[in-house]
């Protein structure tokens, strides 16, 4: 039923009362499609009897809150598999973390555990967070009018500076969100997806503002970066003064040398008299208490605070975070109340030009990244940004299609049959060059720029019709997205050099 959120509380009378006291009556800030009011919360309680049998009938719940206070509670969980299939999220309240059944895994963003003692505020916060996650990123169809009204709000807001900025917030699944988007579309909007879609349409441009790392196991960004002994991986080490005996080369902590008031080498038994001549104390050293290893710098290990997965920093997943700025095209769209779709994708698809769908392009690129990592087969990517689309459209109107087709044939004629072309954003093409190194790709890119210049489009004022960016597979590239991101920063650099 739209607009209602169902909670079930399972515990004794006193426990159920505790939860009832802190559970909110509605969920403001979350917007459902075709539903104007706040979501109402509907609560049921179950006080299990001696047999621990509960009749769920056919109902499904958004959240189940379960007290593990009784020792039979585990039995209950194991015997009521229905509980996990009928509840979207679970909150366990217990006195020991260990009291969860062994095979019961907490699901990131879905389940949570509260350990006694706790305050009412904490309990309320955890309940609200799970309910919020329940509705987060619910897909909605957003129509053109909604996008235009959102853009108009951004353009008319003197404080926003026409920019949509992200904000860090650990309550959001990604650890950040876009308040301006949440204000307009509700807290539960899939904001990144929406903003990327608008950027693809040419309504927004983006610039990188942060990078965040996420657990490769569970996706949490609550990560602890800690130092460990590089030899045995122990965290049990301490900073220590180390002495290096020059004549025999022995290195050890200072107390191994101390004999009363003098220093004697534990290896060669020579007395150490003068620092700088007999021995030195290298700065800040660490000694492992478990394996006695002495090292100048610990190794960094990442521990996920949610699932306890451990790995090295390079194994975590990085996400680039952007701020988004409105474009002149967005302003025009707001003024004319119409997003005159200037989507290359649409244009090229309708003209049978041989451009591949982006999904296929990304898939092929991922395979090439894999081939490089496995067999060292080179592969590079060219991004081709068209700088003249807006001007051309103003100058020739609908005739723009003919010119874009001409340009696309010019580009295609410079490529080999195995190269793959696709539309990446509203004004940018991607070209995948399998088996080609970056040197080869740069030659192709230059040829593309020259071909475009030779086209003689019915516009002036534009110095270069195309800006290109190139990148190639290397050991640092772990995905097709990374390859595209590198080509994009090369493109941005080339554009800034052009002025
Ligand atoms: Zn060690
Ligand atoms: Zn010595
Ligand atoms: Zn994790």
Q: Which ligand number lies closest to the CA of residue 105?
A: 3
**In CATH, what number does 341-499 get?**
3.30.70.270
| Alpha carbon of 267 to ligand 1 centroid (Å) | 21
Q: Which ligand number lies closest to the CA of residue 219?
A: 3
| Alpha carbon of 264 to ligand 2 centroid (Å) | 8
| Alpha carbon of 261 to ligand 2 centroid (Å) | 17
Give me the residue spans of the domains in the chain. 4-135, 230-297, 341-499
| Alpha carbon of 297 to ligand 2 centroid (Å) | 24
| Alpha carbon of 291 to ligand 1 centroid (Å) | 4
| Alpha carbon of 285 to ligand 2 centroid (Å) | 19
| Alpha carbon of 265 to ligand 2 centroid (Å) | 5
| Alpha carbon of 105 to ligand 3 centroid (Å) | 12
**What pLDDT was estimated at residue 406?**
79
pLDDT category of residue 127 using cuts at 50, 70 and 90: very high
- Give the residue among 192, 177, 181 at the shortest CA–CA distance from 150: 181
**Strands of the 428-434 sheet, one edge to the other:** 420-425, 428-434, 379-386, 466-472
**What pLDDT was estimated at residue 172?**
80
Q: Which ligand number lies closest to the CA of residue 295?
A: 1
Res. 1: pLDDT tops 60 = no
| Alpha carbon of 380 to ligand 2 centroid (Å) | 56
**What pLDDT was estimated at residue 311?**
95
Task: Give the pLDDT confidence of 206-248 residue by residue, as tens digits.
Answer: 899 999 999 998 888 899 999 999 999 999 999 988 899 999 9
DSSP class of residue 152 equals: H
Task: Return the ∠ at Cα 104 (arms to 310 and 123), rounded to 5°.
Answer: 90
- The answer to whether residues 262 and 245 touch, using CB atoms and an 8 Å cutoff, is no
Tokens 């244009």 belong to: 347
Report the alpha-carbon distance of residue 309 to residue 138 in Å, rounded: 28
**What pLDDT was estimated at residue 60?**
85
| Alpha carbon of 185 to ligand 3 centroid (Å) | 29
Structure tokens at 497: 């050099």
Res. 47: pLDDT tops 70 = yes
Res. 352: pLDDT tops 60 = no
Task: Give the pLDDT confidence of 465-481 residue by residue, as tens digits.
Answer: 889 999 999 988 888 98
As a whole number, mean pLDDT of residues 408-414 equals 81
| Alpha carbon of 224 to ligand 1 centroid (Å) | 20
| Alpha carbon of 277 to ligand 2 centroid (Å) | 13
Task: Give the pLDDT confidence of 436-461 residue by residue, as tens digits.
Answer: 999 999 999 999 888 888 877 777 76
Res. 330: pLDDT tops 70 = yes
Q: Which ligand number lies closest to the CA of residue 265?
A: 2
| Alpha carbon of 301 to ligand 3 centroid (Å) | 13
Predicted TM-score of the model (pTM): 0.65
**What pLDDT was estimated at residue 150?**
94
| Alpha carbon of 218 to ligand 2 centroid (Å) | 51
| Alpha carbon of 268 to ligand 2 centroid (Å) | 4
**In CATH, what number does 4-135 get?**
3.40.50.2300
Report the alpha-carbon distance of residue 447 to residue 466 in Å, rounded: 11
| Alpha carbon of 235 to ligand 2 centroid (Å) | 29
**What pLDDT was estimated at residue 81?**
67
Q: Which ligand number lies closest to the CA of residue 279?
A: 2
pLDDT above 70 covers a percentage of the chain that reads 89
- The pLDDT mean for the chain works out to 85
Res. 483: pLDDT tops 90 = yes
| Alpha carbon of 263 to ligand 2 centroid (Å) | 10
Task: Give the pLDDT confidence of 290-323 residue by residue, as tens digits.
Answer: 999 999 889 999 999 888 899 999 999 999 999 9
- Give the residue among 67, 125, 123 at the shortest CA–CA distance from 100: 67
| Alpha carbon of 282 to ligand 1 centroid (Å) | 19
| Alpha carbon of 134 to ligand 3 centroid (Å) | 19
| Alpha carbon of 353 to ligand 2 centroid (Å) | 77
Q: Which ligand number lies closest to the CA of residue 270?
A: 2
State the CB neighbour count (10 A cutoff) for residue 411: 22
């Amino acid at each position: 039923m739209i607009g209602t959120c169902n909670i079930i509380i399972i515990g004794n009378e006193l426990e159920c009362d505790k939860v009832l006291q802190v559970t909110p009556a509605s969920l403001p800030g979350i917007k459902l499609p075709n539903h104007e009011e706040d979501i109402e919360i509907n609560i049921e309680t179950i006080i299990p009897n001696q047999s621990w049998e509960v009749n769920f009938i056919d109902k499904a719940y958004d959240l189940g809150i379960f007290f593990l206070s009784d020792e039979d509670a585990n039995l209950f969980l194991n015997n009521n598999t229905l509980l996990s299939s009928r509840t979207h999220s679970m909150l366990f309240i217990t006195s020991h973390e260990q009291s969860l059944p062994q095979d019961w895994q907490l699901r990131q963003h879905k389940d949570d555990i509260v350990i006694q003692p706790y305050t009412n505020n904490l309990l309320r916060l955890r309940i609200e967070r799970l309910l919020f996650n329940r509705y987060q990123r619910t897909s909605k169809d957003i129509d053109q009018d909604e996008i235009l009204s959102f853009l108009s709000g951004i353009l008319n807001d003197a404080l926003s500076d026409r920019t949509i900025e992200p904000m860090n917030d650990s309550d959001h699944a990604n650890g950040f969100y876009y308040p301006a988007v949440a204000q307009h579309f509700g807290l539960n909007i899939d904001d990144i997806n929406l903003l990327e879609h608008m950027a693809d349409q040419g309504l927004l441009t983006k610039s990188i503002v942060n990078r965040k790392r996420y657990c490769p196991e569970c996706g949490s960004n609550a990560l602890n970066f800690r130092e460990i002994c590089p030899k045995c991986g122990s965290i049990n080490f301490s900073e220590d003064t180390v002495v290096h005996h020059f004549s025999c080369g022995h290195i050890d902590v200072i107390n191994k040398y101390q004999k009363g008031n003098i220093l004697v080498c534990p290896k060669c038994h020579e007395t150490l008299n003068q620092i700088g001549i007999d021995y030195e104390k290298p700065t800040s050293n660490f000694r492992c208490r478990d394996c006695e290893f002495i090292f100048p710098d610990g190794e960094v290990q990442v521990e996920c605070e949610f699932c306890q997965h451990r790995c090295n920093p390079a194994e975590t997943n990085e996400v680039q975070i952007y701020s988004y700025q409105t474009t002149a095209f967005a302003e025009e769209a707001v003024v004319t109340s119409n997003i005159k779709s200037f989507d290359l994708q649409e244009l090229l698809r309708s003209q049978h030009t041989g451009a591949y769908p982006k999904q296929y392009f990304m898939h092929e690129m991922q395979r090439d990244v894999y081939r490089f990592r496995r067999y060292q087969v080179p592969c590079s990517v060219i991004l081709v940004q068209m700088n003249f689309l807006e001007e051309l459209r103003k100058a020739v109107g609908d005739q723009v299609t003919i010119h874009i087709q001409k340009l696309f044939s010019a580009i295609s004629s410079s490529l080999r049959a195995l190269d793959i072309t696709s539309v990446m954003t509203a004004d940018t093409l991607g070209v995948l060059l399998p088996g080609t190194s970056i040197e080869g790709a740069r030659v192709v890119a230059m040829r593309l720029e020259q071909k475009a210049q030779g086209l003689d489009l019915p516009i002036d004022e534009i110095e270069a019709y195309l800006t290109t960016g190139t990148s190639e597979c290397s050991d640092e590239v772990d995905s097709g997205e990374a390859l595209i991101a590198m080509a994009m920063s090369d493109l941005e650099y080339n554009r800034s050099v052009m002025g």
